[in-house]
Amino acid sequence: MEIKPLDFFIGLTLGLALGVGGAILGGRVRGWLGYSETGRLRAENRTLKRRLAEKDRHIGRMLIETQRLAERLGKKNVNELGSKSDTSLTTDH
């Protein structure tokens, strides 16, 4: 059994055409499914989860910074009150 060059060329061309056609058809089906309501809602849900995580990280950083500022102000006020009471005691004598 011998494979003739013409048969080989026809088989190769037919295989190539079926492969390209299948790839195009597959891309279109995936495109239609990707633009479905379910696909759109899934993408929106993923985006919202990502944005919520970013906001949570931002709020966490802001809370930490606020706590640091409050601690610094608390120490500063304690030091000022302590120095004022010391000066008032020394001036009363």
Of 19, 12, 15, give the one whose Cα is nearest residue 3.
Answer: 12
Distance CA 85, CA 10 (A): 103
When comparing pLDDT for 45 and 74, which is higher?
45
**Token pair in block for residue 51:** 């944005």
Specify the pTM. Answer: 0.46
DSSP assignment letter at 93: -
42-71 pLDDT tens trace: 889 999 999 999 999 999 999 999 999 999
> Residue written as tokens 């495109």?
31
Distance CA 38, CA 28 (A): 17
